[in-house]
């Protein structure tokens, strides 16, 4: 989750500048995910990923969208207590908004509060089972907790959703080596 915070910040800024009308329930996501799973082009996958993140970040409530953007800025500046307070407000104000839970999970992860991060990732995935960002974060949490087998399972789910995610193959290979090495 610590990975790629700058692109997320940029997407949050873009999302807050656009008319917010989407979230994880946006009908356009189905087509984007279908294309993401079938493309053979890394460039196209990157564009599709950006489009998915844009929709995930949008919210019909402009106040929520502004809070998310402010929370991402606080995260990127290392102001984790401020970011946590902002995302606490977001999940209270919009409890069915997956990205609010995902962002708070990210903050908890950065604060080494893995149990709380796991809980928020679970809520994110309950709202948006295709959330490859949350699944990737789940893998990082399990690695921190020393459970490489669960970390690998999470990344295999990411691979089914986003096969060309940068660095994913290497992460999976490294975890497989760890898991298989422990089984011997």
d(CA 59, CA 68): 9
84 and 101 Cβ atoms separated by less than 8 Å: no
Q: What is the pLDDT of residue 23?
A: 80
**pTM attached to this predicted model:** 0.85
Q: What is the pLDDT of residue 8?
A: 44
pLDDT value at 85 more than 50: yes
Q: Residue 140: pLDDT band by 50, 70, 90 thresholds?
A: very high
Q: What is the CATH number of domain 5-183?
A: 1.25.40.10
Q: What is the pLDDT of residue 7?
A: 44
Give residue-wise pLDDT tens across range 152-167.
999 999 999 999 999 9
d(CA 21, CA 29): 13
87 and 104 Cβ atoms separated by less than 8 Å: yes
Q: Residue 183: pLDDT band by 50, 70, 90 thresholds?
A: low
d(CA 98, CA 94): 9
């Amino acid at each position: 989750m610590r990975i790629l915070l700058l692109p997320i910040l940029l997407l949050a800024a873009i999302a807050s500048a656009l008319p917010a009308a989407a979230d994880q329930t946006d009908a356009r996501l189905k087509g984007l995910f279908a294309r993401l799973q079938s493309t053979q082009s890394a460039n196209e996958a990157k564009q599709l990923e950006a489009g998915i993140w844009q929709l995930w970040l949008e919210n019909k409530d402009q106040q929520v969208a502004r809070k998310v953007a402010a929370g991402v800025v606080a995260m990127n500046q290392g102001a984790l207590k401020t970011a946590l307070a902002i995302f606490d407000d977001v999940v209270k104000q919009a409890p069915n908004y997956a990205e609010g839970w995902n962002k708070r999970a990210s903050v908890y992860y950065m604060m080494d509060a893995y149990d709380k991060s796991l809980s928020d990732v679970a809520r994110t995935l309950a709202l948006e089972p295709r959330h490859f960002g949350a699944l990737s974060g789940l893998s990082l949490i399990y690695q921190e907790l020393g459970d490489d087998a669960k970390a690998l399972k999470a990344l295999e789910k990411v691979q089914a959703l986003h096969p060309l995610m940068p660095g994913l193959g290497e992460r999976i290979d490294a975890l497989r080596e760890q898991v298989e090495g422990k089984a011997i």
